Chains A and B, each alone.
Chain A
Amino acid sequence: MAVIEFKKVNKHFGTGSARVHVLKDIDFSANAGEFVLILGPSGSGKSTFLTIAGNILSPTNGQVFINGKDISTYSTKERESLRLTDLGFVLQSHNLVPYLTVKEQFELADKVKKSGNLTPDNLTGLLEQLEISELIKKYPEQLSGGQSQRVAIARALYTDPQIVLADEPTAALDSKRVKVVGEILHHLAKSQNKAVIAVTHDLRLVEQADKIYELNDGKLTLKN
């Protein structure tokens, strides 16, 4: 069963002559254990797609299902709760709090989500898998771009979400690092049975993806 599904999702911004149709009749689904790539150039609607998948914005019309539940009509509080428990985000800005060490980034998650987070042993395993165990006491400003990205992935997975949404996860990384990040996202989809959805314009990630969609001018098409 699809853990996340879009049915005829449309999104408009603005009104009157300034009205822009950003997403057009989007049908999309991702299953647990899949690494799904949404490819598209700038302005194609990737970020809007991600904000709707991430339950930050509501579609103008159409339905979005997470674990079979229609979330299109959720209240702000229900959306926050869903984002906290079922969704993990890896953002271009690395979603790390600048004044917290790597270890404290996980402690913050414990403060806001009291249960269901990774156990210390599981976290240790994840950090080893991402090769960032030795960075635990460092602040984000002391990390390289690649290290920050891997810490952000670990942070996104710490709350044990079913769906991981990644926004341009390879932005500003060299080819070698792009491959590593691609492998990590692919591996965590398989090893942890997560649905990993990455929106990007970076074609270097296609090798690791299970499913590739292309978003062009608001229309989503499955490429493989």
Chain B
Amino acid sequence: MYLALKEIKHEKLRYSLIISMIVLISYLIFILTSLALGLAQQNTSAIESWNFKQIILNKDSDIALRQSLLSEKQVEALKIDNNKEALIGQASIVAKSSGKENISANFIGVKKEQFLYRELKLSSGKLPTTSHEVVVDSSFADKGYKIGDKIYFNSLKTPYKITGFVKNAKLSVAPVVYGLLSAWPELKSVTPNFVASALITKNNNYSVPSSELGSYSKQTLIDNLPGYSAQNKTFTFMIAFLMVISLIVIAVFLYIITIQKLPNFAVLRVQGISNKFLIKNTINQSLILVISGLAIGALLAMITAIAIPNSVPMSFNIPLLGLVSLGLIITSVLGSLIPVQTILHIDPVKAIS
């Protein structure tokens, strides 16, 4: 550590440039990770908030909530404990209000007596009590919608009243509008024999009475959201490639720096300084550089998080960013191990004329 710190202190420009490079790489990784997480949350935050284990869907729906329809007969056959099971009805809607921007959203109809209705966490206002009252995602507020506003869905002429706001209620990157299930058939334009899209249950081993219905885990439902897996894989690959690139870049820089120091290391080897000391010094130096770069990169990412508009779907998750940082530290240590081979082969004889 001693040699590492002294060298960085003396060679300020050289090491500042290396740290700057690590800052840029780590900043890019932090921003991409936050963007990936933000987008993932915009797909799933509503589903995550429902606090269920299994979802019962029509088997023909291809595990897609928006394609699933449960008939009255199918629902009657389901065993429903209102504290553990809840029917939901999903409909894609366009919310409109005079003088305000139209918003494409997902209507989720719930039943007042079931757990999902009771567990809706409002950031303001109150839960809907009639079929023409709704609570909406807080992004509606960002576009000028207020409690008490009348909104219209699709081409329907009957207004709905906003009674409250829910935070982080997003499904497939669209805000969620929660209302009563009794309003759902009209919004979904289905015949009266269909009463819901799905049943969610807190029971891990819920038995499905009909072969027409399937029981799926929350994760299966999420993985089958349109575009969700492809989007996540894209980000994961981008971040993984960035990690690999950073590993190569850090390794190349450390290798070049180590090569430049070989004459000094040869002299130190003559003086009896062990390879272990020199290797530890090299690894410590890379740790100092990477941790400094990461700290500055994290600071820049935090400033970005504060400055960035709410419309950009970024989510800064400290444990996840900590994990990414740990990944970068590990890659840098791996990178710093590459010049170790060169250090092990230093011939102290070269220091003698």
Q: Does B241 contact A (CB under 8 A)?
A: no
Q: Are A91 and B267 in contact (CB under 8 A)?
A: yes
Q: Does B149 contact A (CB under 8 A)?
A: no
Query: Which B residues from 263 to 297 make CB contacts under 8 A with A?
Result: 263-264, 267-274, 277
- Which residues of chain A are near B263, meaning CB under 8 Å? 93
- Which residues of chain B are near A100, meaning CB under 8 Å? 3, 6, 10
Given the interface contacts A93-B263, A97-B268, A99-B6, does A168 sit within 8 Å of B353 by beta carbon? yes
Q: Which of A57, A93, A108, A168 contacts B2 (CB 8 A)?
A: A108
CB closest chain-B residue, reference A87: B272
Q: Are B277 and A54 in contact (CB under 8 A)?
A: no
How many chain A residues touch B (CB < 8 A): the figure is 34
Chain A window 28-55, contacts with chain B (Cβ cutoff 8 Å), 1 for yes, 0 for no: 0000000000000000000100110010
CB closest chain-A residue, reference B353: A92
User: Chain B contact residues: over half helix, strand or loop, or mixed?
Assistant: helix
Q: Are B272 and A80 in contact (CB under 8 A)?
A: yes
Query: Which A residues from 74 to 122 make CB contacts under 8 A with B?
Result: 77, 80-85, 87, 89, 91-93, 95, 97-100, 104, 107-109, 111-113
Query: Which B residues from 316 to 353 make CB contacts under 8 A with A?
Result: 348-349, 351-353
- Which residues of chain B are near A65, meaning CB under 8 Å? none
Q: Does A56 contact B (CB under 8 A)?
A: yes
Q: Are B274 and A98 in contact (CB under 8 A)?
A: no
State A119–B9 Cα separation when bound (angstroms). Answer: 27
CB closest chain-A residue, reference B8: A99
- Which residues of chain B are near A51, meaning CB under 8 Å? 349, 352
Q: Which of A80, A95, A112 contacts B267 (CB 8 A)?
A: A95
Q: Are A139 and B272 in contact (CB under 8 A)?
A: no
CB closest chain-B residue, reference A94: B267
Query: Which A residues from 134 to 165 make CB contacts under 8 A with B?
Result: 139
Q: Are A85 and B264 in contact (CB under 8 A)?
A: no
State A92–B263 Cα separation when bound (angstroms). Answer: 12
Q: Are B349 and A89 in contact (CB under 8 A)?
A: no
Q: Are A54 and B352 in contact (CB under 8 A)?
A: yes
Minimum Cβ distance to chain A for residue B271 (Å)? 6
Minimum Cβ distance to chain B for residue A154 (Å)? 13
Q: Are B272 and A82 in contact (CB under 8 A)?
A: yes
Q: Does A5 contact B (CB under 8 A)?
A: no
Q: Does A167 contact B (CB under 8 A)?
A: yes
Minimum Cβ distance to chain B for residue A74 (Å)? 12
Given the interface contacts A100-B6, A104-B6, A108-B2, does A95 sit within 8 Å of B274 by beta carbon? no
- Which residues of chain A are near B349, meaning CB under 8 Å? 47, 51, 56-57
Q: Does B81 contact A (CB under 8 A)?
A: no
Q: Are A91 and B268 in contact (CB under 8 A)?
A: no
Q: Does B101 contact A (CB under 8 A)?
A: no
Minimum Cβ distance to chain A for residue B261 (Å)? 9
Q: Does B7 contact A (CB under 8 A)?
A: yes
Given the interface contacts A51-B352, A95-B351, does A139 sit within 8 Å of B271 by beta carbon? no
- Which residues of chain B are near A56, meaning CB under 8 Å? 270, 348-349, 352
- Which residues of chain B are near A98, meaning CB under 8 Å? 10, 264
- Which residues of chain B are near A50, meaning CB under 8 Å? 352
- Which residues of chain A are near B113, meaning CB under 8 Å? none
Given the interface contacts A99-B6, A99-B10, A108-B3, does A91 sit within 8 Å of B272 by beta carbon? no
Q: Does B119 contact A (CB under 8 A)?
A: no
Given the interface contacts A97-B3, A99-B6, A99-B7, does A47 sit within 8 Å of B271 by beta carbon? no
- Which residues of chain B are near A85, meaning CB under 8 Å? 272
State A167–B203 Cα separation when bound (angstroms). Answer: 82
Q: Are A139 and B352 in contact (CB under 8 A)?
A: no
CB closest chain-B residue, reference A77: B274
Minimum Cβ distance to chain A for residue B264 (Å)? 6
Q: Does B11 contact A (CB under 8 A)?
A: yes
State A83–B272 Cα separation when bound (angstroms). Answer: 5
Q: Are B352 and A97 in contact (CB under 8 A)?
A: no
Chain A window 164-179, contacts with chain B (Cβ cutoff 8 Å), 1 for yes, 0 for no: 0001100100000000
Given the interface contacts A47-B352, A47-B353, A56-B349, does A112 sit within 8 Å of B272 by beta carbon? yes
Query: With A57-B349, A81-B272, A82-B272 given, can you name 17 additional A-B contacts, CB distance below 8 Å?
Result: A47-B353, A54-B352, A56-B349, A80-B273, A87-B272, A91-B270, A93-B263, A93-B351, A97-B3, A97-B267, A97-B268, A99-B9, A100-B10, A109-B271, A111-B2, A112-B277, A168-B353
Q: Chain A: residues with CB nearer than 8 A to chain B?
A: 47, 50-51, 54, 56-57, 77, 80-85, 87, 89, 91-93, 95, 97-100, 104, 107-109, 111-113, 139, 167-168, 171
A-B complex: 7 closest residue pairs judged by Cβ atoms = A84-B272, A83-B272, A99-B10, A99-B7, A95-B267, A92-B353, A80-B272
